[in-house]
Amino acid sequence: MTYEMILVEQRGAVTLITLNRPKALNALNSQVLAELSDAFAAFDADPAQHCAVLTGSGEKAFAAGADIKEMADKPAADFFLEDFFSGWQTGVVATRKPWIAAVAGFALGGGCELAMMADFIIAADTAKFGQPEIKLGVAPGMGGSQRLTRAVGKAKAMEMCLTGRMMGAEEAERSGLVSRIVPAADLLEEALKTAAEIAAMPPMAAMVNKEMVNTAFETGLAQGLLTERRMFQILTATQDKMEGMAAFIEKRPGVWQGR
Ligand code: CO8
């Protein structure tokens, strides 16, 4: 697939995906979704790629939301019949390998929701998160009301959804929405460095750790603890577990097979 709205490059074992519609503040339309879905599927399928970073082009925005111009005249029945926005679940959230959102500037509406689809968010000090859909007469449609509430709790999520107010980087870190804040000039370098660190881990263990933490986010404690134990037990059957423990005992770095 030829990409027009995103850029994809490989930096060693890290795939860097950049939303590339800076004039529209990287607004997310159907073509962006199709291209992102293709890029994430290629990343997941490539045995040499182990972590990805998604970021926005331009300093102003990660993404200013779903493309309002694409939705403005669309009949309601089409939204329903196309199951509009469901492709984000199958095309982006379904990615099995770990990926990081590197957010500078606006992450609004679908942009905030896309960032929250990542395994974690590293924010520039310029980042601003918000769910302003109410001002357009609608509501979040790509997970905002659900993931934001789980991430920052009911009080802040409710206030943000009901007023559309934005949350700056410091409040986002304090509230648990982002893992950490870095100066805007260092954002990409820091995100790529963290991704490279993850990419150097035993790959199956990285995928399982991702699945476990997501299970904590998405299910109850009893189910989560059972899943964790079973996944842990399954990982003990991997060559990388034998290698990892032998390497520790022999005081040398592990060499991973990815199985
Ligand atoms: N969609 C399309 N185009 C956009 C979007 C967007 N979400 N955001 C910005 N743009 C475009 C502008 O139209 C403008 O284009 P042009 O130059 O051709 O007029 C260009 O980007 C630059 O934007 P501004 O001139 O507005 O830049 P400012 O610096 O003045 O303002 C803001 C920046 C505050 C970010 C402002 O652009 C803004 O408020 N954008 C919209 C934010 C928003 O409301 N996002 C939520 C969108 S809805 C959504 O994401 C989920 C909807 C769920 C609906 C479910 C339906 C079933």
Name residue 130's beta-bridge partners: 108
Q: For residue 224, how far is its CA from the centre of ligand 1 (angstroms)?
A: 38
Predicted local distance difference test score (pLDDT) of residue 79: 96
Active site residues: 66, 110, 113, 133
- Please tell me the CATH code under which domain 203-250 is placed: 1.10.12
Predicted local distance difference test score (pLDDT) of residue 60: 97
The three-point CA angle 78-90-145 to 5° equals: 75
Indicate the pTM of the whole model: 0.97
Q: For residue 23, how far is its CA from the centre of ligand 1 (angstroms)?
A: 10
Predicted local distance difference test score (pLDDT) of residue 232: 96
The token pair at 242 is 């034998």
Kindly give the confidence (pLDDT) of every residue in the chain, 259 residues in length, as a single tens digit, with 9 standing for 90 and above: 999 999 999 999 999 999 999 999 999 999 999 999 999 999 999 999 999 999 999 989 999 999 999 999 999 999 999 999 999 999 999 999 999 999 999 999 999 999 999 999 999 999 999 999 999 999 999 999 999 999 999 999 999 999 999 999 999 999 999 999 999 999 999 999 999 999 999 999 999 999 999 999 999 999 999 999 999 999 999 999 999 999 999 999 999 999 9
Q: Within the chain, which residue ranges are assigned CATH 1.10.12?
A: 203-250
Q: Is 66 in the pocket of ligand 1 (CB under 6 A)?
A: yes
Q: Is 190 in the pocket of ligand 1 (CB under 6 A)?
A: no
Q: Is 196 in the pocket of ligand 1 (CB under 6 A)?
A: no
The atom of ligand 1 lying closest to the CA of 111 is 50
Say if the ipTM goes beyond 0.90: yes
Crossing angle (nearest 10°) for helices 203-218 and 221-235: 170
Among 62, 68, 136, 166, name the best residue to mutate to test ligand 1's pocket (greatest count of ligand atoms within 8 A of Cβ).
68
Q: For residue 113, how far is its CA from the centre of ligand 1 (angstroms)?
A: 15
Interatomic CA distance for residues 242 and 236, integer angstroms: 8
Q: Within the chain, which residue ranges are assigned CATH 3.90.226.10?
A: 6-200
Predicted local distance difference test score (pLDDT) of residue 62: 98
Q: Is 113 in the pocket of ligand 1 (CB under 6 A)?
A: no
- Classify the C-alpha dihedral 160-165-137-114 as positive or negative: negative
DSSP secondary structure letters along 120-189: EEEEETT-EEE-GGGGGT----SSHHHHHHHHH-HHHHHHHHHH---EEHHHHHHTTSSSEEE-GGGHHH
Task: Find all residues with CB under 8 Å of 253, minimum gap 6, and list them.
Answer: 247
The token pair at 130 is 């918000």
CATH of 6-200, one of 3.30.450.20, 3.40.50.360, 3.90.226.10, 3.40.50.2000: 3.90.226.10
**Are 102 and 187 spatial neighbours (Cβ–Cβ below 8 Å)?**
yes
Q: Where are the alpha helices (DSSP H) in 58-143?
A: 68-71, 76-81, 86-88, 110-117
Q: Is 68 in the pocket of ligand 1 (CB under 6 A)?
A: yes
Burial class (CB in 10 A: 0-12, 13-18, 19+), 184: middle
